[in-house]
Amino acid sequence: MTSVDQTTIRRRQTGLTALDRAATAGGYTLYAPQTGNGQVLLVDIEGERAHSWQMPVRPGRDAVILANGNLGYNGSHATSAALYPAWDLWHGGDFYEATPEGEIVWRHEDIFHHHDAQWLENGNLLYTVAAPLPADKAARVTGGDPRKDGADGIIQSDIIREVNRAGETVWEWRIWDHLDPADFPIHPNFDRRHWPMVNGLSVTRDGLVLMSLRTTSGVIAVKRDTGAVVWHVGPDVVAQQHTPVETESGAILVFDNGNLRTGSTSPFSRALEFDPSGKVVWSYTDTLPMAFFSPYMGGCQRLWNGNTLICESAFGRLFEVTPEGKVVWEFVIPEFGEYPAPLNSFITGMHNSCFRAHRYAKTALPWL
């Protein structure tokens, strides 16, 4: 008797599922499976493996190709801080730079790091760390589900930190110095252990630091020299979004997850581009909106031909769409695995997820 594979996603087609050679930007796609135990994979436009790395630890988040051709890797620290039950799902804190041959040439550790990190052009690393909210600020946190509060009463918050190649902190920004928790309520069904949970970072051409606020739904832009928040786009536009990046026009592209979307009873995700005033200038949703949805993680990248690469993280679906919303490339990650214990006790089953994916032109990979 033939047994039936009980992993629903894997019963469907994986690997390359769609390709329009005339319309795709081409190039190579990089991803790091969340349950891949440190494997990082590069596939060509045909979905064939072009290169791989085996890193020392499983991914905390993602991997990128640096300007020098090396791999920048955001790994999961084996002895990260134990701040609250879900912490192990999204912390990183073990950063590596590796050559194409896999030689480790740089490492940085920070057990309080979580979610995103950006490898800057000057060689520095910009990332988010958790730190307890001062008691007077914690008392001003609103929303959320108080039944899920920790017994210690501590609410973690976010510091943005930049370190140089020596691991020295050269810039730091504390969110509670600039935002009032009372003005940024946590969504009603979330616990209040972390406010507002910065899950995405990037830097604009003018040096503004973009930050995505997960538990309150919003994106802010911060001036590095003064620390001032110069604009905020909130839950009337975005819902539980990730990975804000500036496009060539000066607009902001995000993966808009769609959990708890204002005015919607059926969640769906979209790739969303808006200007700093919050005006939507472009978006992509599936023709059947609910058919494209990732409740967590996710990323978008504007490609060199105007197309957009989208990572539907939870289901390992990487796809490319034209400005008109036509799908011209699709690849479903074929590598499945379980999360390690104790995570597999509450995030069960086999997963092919990745935090985000990145597309590179051949010129960015001279060693290939």
CA-to-CA separations, 303 to 3, 30, 188, 191, 306, in angstroms, rounded = 42, 14, 36, 37, 5
In a domain, 7, yes or no: no
- Specify the residue for token string 């905390």: 60
CB 107 within 8 A of CB 101: no
Q: Across the beta sheet with 308-312, what order do the strands follow?
A: 15-19, 327-332, 317-321, 308-312, 299-302
The whole-model pTM stands at 0.96
CA-to-CA separations, 10 to 194, 287, 356, in angstroms, rounded = 34, 23, 19
* Structural domain count of the chain: 1
What does the pLDDT read at residue 210?
98
What does the pLDDT read at residue 1?
62
In a domain, 8, yes or no: no
Domain with 105, as residue range(s), is: 15-364
CA-to-CA separations, 28 to 37, 127, 309, 357, in angstroms, rounded = 22, 26, 11, 10
Map 266-315 to HEC letters: CCCCEEEEECCCCCEEEEECCCCHHHCCCCCCCEEEECCCCCEEEEEHHH
In a domain, 10, yes or no: no
In a domain, 9, yes or no: no
CB 11 within 8 A of CB 349: no
Residues of the chain with pLDDT under 70: 1
Q: What are phi and psi of 147, to 5 degrees?
A: -65, -20
Query: Alpha helix (H) ranges present in the chain?
Result: 8-11, 87-90, 135-138
CA distance 141 to 42: 42
Q: What are phi and psi of 176, to 5 degrees?
A: -70, -10
CB 300 within 8 A of CB 285: no
pLDDT digit string (tens) for 90-107? Answer: 999 999 999 999 999 999
CA distance 296 to 34: 12
In a domain, 4, yes or no: no
In a domain, 147, yes or no: yes
Dihedral (C-alpha) 39, 65, 204, 176: value to the nearest 10 degrees? 30
What does the pLDDT read at residue 189?
82
Q: How far apart are the first and last CA of the chain?
A: 45
Q: Which domain CATH number covers 37?
A: 2.120.10.30
In a domain, 1, yes or no: no
In terms of residues, how long is the chain? 368
Strand pairing category for 198-203 and 28-31: unpaired
In a domain, 182, yes or no: yes
